[in-house]
A and B are shown apart, each in its own frame.
Chain A
Amino acid sequence: MKLTKTLLATSALVMSAGAASAIDLTFVSWGGAYQKSQLEAYAKPYMEAHPDVNIIWDESSAEAVAKLRAMNEAGNLTWDLVDVDAADSFRLCDEGLAMEYDPDELLAPADDGTSASEDFGAQIVNACYIPQIVYSTTFGYRTDLVGDTPPSNICDVFDLEAYPGKRSLEKRPINNMEWALLCDGVAKEDIYDVLATDEGQQQALAKLGTIKDQVIWWSAGADTPQLLADGEVVMGSTYNGRLFSAIAEQNQPIGMLWDAQVFSFDGWVIPTGLPEDRLAVVKDFLFFATDTQRLADQAKYISYGPARASSAPLVGQHADLGIDMAPHMPTDPANAQNVFYYNFEFWADYRDDIDAKFQAWLAG
């Protein structure tokens, strides 16, 4: 009796699986809270609407460029859609590893009919990059370790007298060099011109040198929140979403220093060489996942700004905590009084050169 039932159930399963001709897609993202927000806002609703599509997540975005290049050389592409930092999308696009696309053909227009290319605007930084969020790299500080006047200016990071104690900075030149020049008296609009010269680079390193022995250098986004929580540092830079979760979700005594935050983008790229059938599903998913509502939905789960102008008014409350997300967005007018935009062109050219000098400076 029991056996017959089992057999029946099994054959039913096999038949239904055969009928649906399901497709497995591998999406690559960063893991953690960010990947969870993508799962909740995009993947789950999409899979509900398309039961035949199954999305598998791979947390390899940090090595996406190298891995895609290796896959391309081996002729064995196993990824269908990759979430990358906009800076990495330049490399992928330059190397021909990411597919170029037409925004108005691939992406949905805004609800009011504004075309996708206009709605995303300058965020489409190159021909391969499909924008998703705006995030910022900014500072958090320990509210209990900075005295009565908490830091409000980026140059407080370089002020060891007013704010003694260790700071954590990312172990790469990007952002740090700009902040250093800004606090060394270089006008904001001149920064990249200065930084393109050897003297300018030495000037930035010299400014960083004034706090070098008080810096703990981080290489993972989770380091600074942890160092702040342990009281190892009084202030440190990291991604604003990491600080948000330390403050709002873990109730750590941490405050935000938004001054001179650096905006950067994160979005999708489609690897070149996808077979037609998979490419069709990926395009369908992207049309859905980058529409105005979906991008606004993602902000329920993480404090990163939606890339579409039309999504901003729709940003609501945190899905679990019920707090308003807008004031925690880097794009909120109160937070965005003084911002930098990640200079992709500049860093694509100077990243390797300045990084070599930066690392030599660090090691020396």
Chain B
Amino acid sequence: MSDTTDTGPMRAADGTPLKKSLARALRRQKLRALALIAPLLIFVLVTFVVPIADMLFRSVENQIVSDTLPHTVRLLSSWDSSTGETPDEPVYAALAVDFQAASEEKNHTKLGTRLNYENPGLSSMFRKTGRGADDIGKASTKRFTDLDPAWKDGATWAALLGSDDWLADMAEWSKDDGRQPRFSPRAEAASALPMTSDVYTAFARVARTENKKSAVETKPWPVLYTALEQDLATASPESLSAVNGASAGLLQAAGAAVPGFEPISYKDAFIDIDKGWSEVDSWQTIQSYAARYTPGYFLNAVDLEKSPEGIQQRPEQQQIYLMLFWRTIWMSMLITFCCLVLGYPVAWILANLRASTANVLMILVLLPFWTSLLVRTSAWKVMLQQQGVINDILVWLGLVDDGSRLVLINNQFGTIVAMTHILLPFMILPLYSVMKTIPPTYLRAAKSLGATNWTAFWRVYFPQSVPGIGAGSILCYILAIGYYITPELVGGTQGVFISNRIAFHISSSLNWGLAAALGSILLGAVLLLYYVYDKIVGIDNVKLG
């Protein structure tokens, strides 16, 4: 049985190959370990990995343009903006269809908001056009209903564009059954009337989600008539005659009538609603941001912009982000350095005191953690403002003239002071925990070897405290570059960080794409710094406790 002297694989007592049985035993251990950390893993995944991935995705995601104006975008791709001419009539016709469909679902204002980030004015242009879009559809509606009143009827449209299966399902469905059956288009109608079929798909989807009336009974959107008119104008007679179903006859008749319709100028109609549609600029913006993914947010985040001539710098009076990134980085470094200079002696004293005294002092160090950030920051206002405590004392001491009180707040100095105070514990704690592990005999040894107090400290103690410095600095630095409340309150105009702009875009301008791009760059900067630190100092040289 357990004859392992054979050549060949080693075997366990029961004859299975040893490697296999070892793997099995290990797998069980691994599974058990995995089960133990599963809650944490899921937590980290949900609260950390997913939001970061979402943020990175948002910073390039731009599907709203092509989703909202699908037909327009397709036709617009062949438009050459450098001619200085607005696009041709078919683009406006497609826009008429897309816009009406979008306004039925209130998507046009969302798109307007999105494009307004790139071209101010589009927001109200889109809002206004949404209101006027219905009128565009009304002309077509009238033409078809005049041709045959049956076009007013929802059932006509359903029979024309819905598949037989769907029509059968809808016939059986009643409101009490719950959701309506999912729409499926009639294949030959979809190929003959592509735009109409697309719009009807959206129409059926909305009817299904609102779920009040059956799609068959719902009044058709005006946009359906616009779409049908355009499809019929370009469709081949063969493809039209291929369409089956109850409405086939109506379609043939309409197909025959449409060439006789007086052409509608959608271009004029749009320009009538808002003269913005006559500007090449507006169309350029739609064309430039038609792609499903865009580098636009990232370009904006580094003061660049897309233009017909390619990527170029934004006008000087709009350049702000690079300067803010740079300011965030150097001020955070300065704040970290201040924390180090102030925190190092404190940590040293704490590490070298008797445990009972050290504990009392440690509470003093931790005390700021227990006060609200706003309270602490506001306290600095009271201290630092021109009629504040420090200026009052300086004036009272006669060091400063009453007329020329020092400006200590609402500038970079204010931010540095308040942030240093807030971040100090994050420097002291890692320093303390590292210093606690450095035995005092090293200093004695150094002195016995002839080193002065300073040499002993600098050559022997300090290098051993470097892991604490590294940990504290990384902590402080990373916290500092992400802070925005304190800089907002005491930083004035010169002491605010990039995070303040991120907060603004998240909560005020709702330009989450730009906020995500700025955040991603900040994240990248931190990771880069981490990498550089690892190369220079070595990340295993960091002790957090």
Binding site for B on A (CB under 8 A): 62-63, 65-66, 69, 91, 93-96, 166, 171, 196, 202, 205, 216-217, 219, 230-232, 345, 348-357, 359-364
Contact = CB atoms under 8 A, between A and B. Distances in A.
B494 interface: yes
Contact of A94 (B105, B110, B385, B488): B110
Contacts, number: 90
B492 A357 contact: no
A91 B510 contact: yes
A352 B127 contact: no
Contact of A202 (B317, B488, B504): B317
A351 B510 CA distance: 12
Contacts of B494: 363
B120 A352 contact: yes
A364 B387 CA distance: 27
B506 A66 contact: yes
B121 A356 contact: no
B263 to A, nearest CB: 33
6 contacts: A66-B507, A66-B510, A232-B385, A348-B123, A350-B121, A352-B509
A202 B318 CA distance: 11
**The 9 residue pairs across chains A and B that have the minimum distance between CB atoms:** A94-B109, A353-B120, A360-B320, A66-B507, A362-B493, A96-B106, A349-B124, A349-B121, A231-B387
Contact of B496 (A202, A231, A355, A363): A363
Given A360-B319, A363-B493, A363-B494, A349 B110 contact: no
B484 to A, nearest CB: 11
A357 B120 CA distance: 12
Given A66-B507, A66-B510, A357-B317, A352 B106 contact: no
A69 B515 CA distance: 15
Contacts of B113: 91, 94-95
Interface of B: 105-107, 109-110, 112-113, 116-117, 120-124, 127, 317-320, 323-324, 327, 385-388, 410, 488, 492-494, 496, 501, 504, 506-512
Contacts of A345: 124
Nearest to B509: A352
B323 A363 contact: yes
A interface: dominant SS: helix
B127 A94 contact: yes
Given A65-B508, A217-B492, A354-B120, 13 more contacts: A65-B507, A91-B113, A94-B123, A94-B127, A95-B109, A95-B110, A95-B510, A96-B105, A166-B386, A230-B388, A349-B116, A359-B501, A363-B320
Contact of B110 (A96, A205, A217): A96
Contacts of B385: 230, 232
B317 A361 contact: yes
A232 B386 contact: yes
Contacts of B488: 219
Contacts of A232: 385-387
Given A217-B492, A219-B488, A348-B124, A355 B112 contact: no
Contact of B109 (A96, A357, A363): A96
B509 A357 contact: no
A349 B123 contact: yes
Of the candidates A63, A232, A345, A356, the one having the most CB atoms from chain B within 10 angstroms of its own CB is A356
A67 to B, nearest CB: 8
A217 B109 contact: no
B80 to A, nearest CB: 27
Contacts of A361: 317
Contacts of B122: 349
Nearest to A362: B493
Contacts of A354: 120
Contacts of B110: 94-96
Contacts of B105: 96
Nearest to B323: A363
A356 B320 contact: yes
A202 B316 CA distance: 12
A124 to B, nearest CB: 15
Contacts of B127: 94, 348
A60 to B, nearest CB: 10
Contacts of A355: 504, 509
Contacts of B506: 66
Given A217-B492, A362-B493, A63 B507 contact: yes
Contacts of A349: 116, 120-124
B116 A363 contact: no
A202 B336 CA distance: 37
A231 to B, nearest CB: 5
B47 to A, nearest CB: 13
Contact of A351 (B327, B386, B388, B509): B509
A216 B492 contact: yes
A350 B318 CA distance: 13
Contact of A360 (B107, B124, B318, B492): B318
Of the candidates B494, B501, B509, the one having the most CB atoms from chain A within 10 angstroms of its own CB is B509
Of the candidates B117, B123, B127, B386, the one having the most CB atoms from chain A within 10 angstroms of its own CB is B123
B320 A359 contact: yes
Contacts of B117: 352
A360 B323 CA distance: 9
Contacts of A364: 323
Nearest to A168: B410
A127 to B, nearest CB: 10
A76 B109 CA distance: 23
Contacts of B318: 356-357, 360
A91 B113 CA distance: 8
A363 B317 contact: no
Given A65-B507, A93-B109, A232-B387, A360 B493 contact: no
Contacts of A353: 120
A231 B405 CA distance: 13
A66 B320 CA distance: 23
B324 A363 contact: yes
Contacts of B327: 363
A94 B110 CA distance: 6
Of the candidates A202, A231, A362, A363, the one having the most CB atoms from chain B within 10 angstroms of its own CB is A363
A353 B127 CA distance: 18
A62 B485 CA distance: 14
Contacts of A166: 386
A334 B319 CA distance: 44
